[in-house]
Structure 1
């Protein structure tokens, strides 16, 4: 029986090695292009799916949203087309008018979606906290109420910012007045020497109350009295107070309810 041939296979030529390397690089580039294309498609699908979700949610509370978006689209398109069409030409007017019209329609949907989102939580415990969660940098908001009536579920939430200390109430004006007085007495001794003002804003639909969708704007309109470092110092003083946790009913914590920010942005 002849011995087995253990001779190694012949070594490939230099030209074959170059060809194989070139094919490998081409395959890697093709795979990279495919990954980018899939990633881009997924982003686009997610973007349009989010827009559809926001539109559907808003239409359930505002059936006329489609008409308002169409009105904003065509009015903006007509104005832009007329202006740029007269100044330049009709093609330029159309190219500039279409993006502006789409932007106008998206802005209308965003405003209506925000109003619908607040309409869904209005009147529920923790609605004011959900509205305060839309405040951006520079504001320190407590997620849980600093004072609460366990019987009526009226509550007060604390916001610290450049205007000072803001107490945001939730409940009828007459009913939360005693709760506001107790909360003022609790915080006043700590802030007495600092000169930090204490503001009270009532959230709700009653007289002298601020609707949820306008709550953030009302807080931002307050006069600025502190700088960033003073805001941090005030928060540290208030955080040093012992926490008096109000009794929370069993089940889902209503004060962790938050509107979908992505949905609001569209």
Structure 2
């Protein structure tokens, strides 16, 4: 019975290793297509800590045990640094590919779930001709209005949505943040959106956030401007795996 259990565990462990290696290979293939310098960055990240370990061995004339531990540490750090490098550069490529897709802003916002953030996938406003859109979300830091599209048109829509929110939060000091995503002078690039949203200071308790979310839900239900189903550009559901081509 014990032998069967050990064999089962060994098989599962082997599958996990194969799966991890397969994922790394897929991420590499996905990234290197748009990032030809990737192999050089990975090589540098992997080799640098190992070279540092070799230099330490040469300078301090370590004993056998210390030398072995230093080499192992250098190799582990190299693998870790290479993994981090691959992850960051693959994310950069993923965001670059997403920027050309309508609704990418909603997909990125929908991934922000930590810290009580809530960004529905569907926009609260959309121009069916230009595909400009506005998403509304909330968190313990306040209310967020995020626009995608032409800066001038989007800012007008953000101002209209801000007026609606102020009517249901009148008398409170709940902040309302307006963000325009794009590459203009006063816009935020897509790859900086998540960081921009999450770096604000906490203003609300969990209870206050719950009340706010109920009011925002009611506001959307009463809104006379709905988004026709089936035409919503935010239906581009993208997660980390999809960004890397998995």
Distance 1:143 1:186 in 2: 20
Verify the 8 A CA contact 1:162 1:228 in the aligned structure 2.
yes
Which residues in structure 2 correspond to 1:232-247 (within 5 Å)?
A: 232-241=210-219, 242=221, 244-247=225-228
RMSD: 2.3
Helix, strand or coil for the counterpart of 1:140?
A: coil
1:10 paired residue number: none
1:32 paired residue number: 5
Distance 1:225 1:85 in 2: 55
Give 1:192 deviation, angstroms. 1.5
Verify the 8 A CA contact 1:141 1:158 in the aligned structure 2.
yes
2:198 paired residue number: 220
Deviations 1:73-124 (CA, angstroms, capped at 9, x unpaired)? 1123223444577565432221110000000000000001111111121121
Distance 1:97 1:259 in 2: 33
Give 1:144 deviation, angstroms. 0.5
1:55 aligns with 2:28: yes
1:209 paired residue number: 187
2:40 paired residue number: 67
Verify the 8 A CA contact 1:129 1:157 in the aligned structure 2.
yes
Verify the 8 A CA contact 1:147 1:157 in the aligned structure 2.
yes
Corresponding residue to 1:255 among 225, 235, 242: 235
Structure 2: gaps spanning 5 or more residues: none
Distance 2:243 2:95 in 1: 12
Give 1:254 deviation, angstroms. 4.3
Structure 1: gaps spanning 5 or more residues: 1-27
Verify the 8 A CA contact 1:165 1:199 in the aligned structure 2.
yes
Distance 2:54 2:198 in 1: 37
1:8 paired residue number: none
Q: Which range moves more in the overlay, 81-90 or 122-131?
A: 81-90
Helix, strand or coil for the counterpart of 1:141?
A: coil
Size of the alignment, in residue pairs?
Answer: 237
Distance 1:80 1:132 in 2: 42
Which residues in structure 2 correspond to 1:138-217 (within 5 Å)?
A: 138-217=116-195
Verify the 8 A CA contact 1:172 1:206 in the aligned structure 2.
no
